[in-house]
């Protein structure tokens, strides 16, 4: 192999491996402020399509039910669901 080909191969390998090295950077763990309850901007009504609204609502319900279950594991699934629905209704009411 000629010297020019070796150099070209080396350059291609170094350029090709750069994205892999950059993709390995880590992100810090979420802070306590990121774990706060959703604000008005993350409510289902702020999503742009009905499908997005439903998906966001479903995810919020899952998160709430998981959190409530961690607080009180003796609650039934229906009780968890009712508790979370009540909490979401309170969040949706206008605050004066």
Helix then strand then coil, % of the chain, to nearest 5: 70, 0, 30
- Residue spans of the domains in the chain: they are 47-96
pLDDT at 17: 66
Q: What is the pLDDT of residues 66-75, one digit of tens each?
A: 999 999 999 9
Q: Does the predicted model carry a pTM greater than 0.75? A: no
Residue 18: predicted pLDDT? 61
Cα R_g (the chain), whole angstroms: 24
Rounded to an integer, what distance in angstroms lies between the CA atom of residue 57 and that of residue 9?
Answer: 52
Dihedral of the CA atoms 63, 67, 72, 75 (nearest 10)?
-10
Q: Model confidence over 3-53: pLDDT tens digits?
A: 778 877 777 777 776 665 555 556 666 655 545 555 545 555 566 788 888
């Amino acid at each position: 192999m000629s010297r020019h080909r070796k150099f070209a191969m080396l350059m291609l390998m170094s350029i090709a491996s750069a994205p892999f090295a950059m993709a390995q950077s880590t992100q810090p763990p979420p802070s306590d402020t990121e774990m706060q309850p959703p604000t008005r901007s993350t409510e289902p009504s702020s999503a742009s399509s009905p499908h997005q609204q439903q998906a966001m609502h479903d995810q919020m319900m899952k998160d709430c039910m998981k959190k409530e279950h961690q607080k009180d594991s003796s609650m039934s699934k229906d009780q968890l669901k009712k508790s979370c629905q009540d909490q979401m209704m309170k969040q949706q009411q206008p605050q004066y």
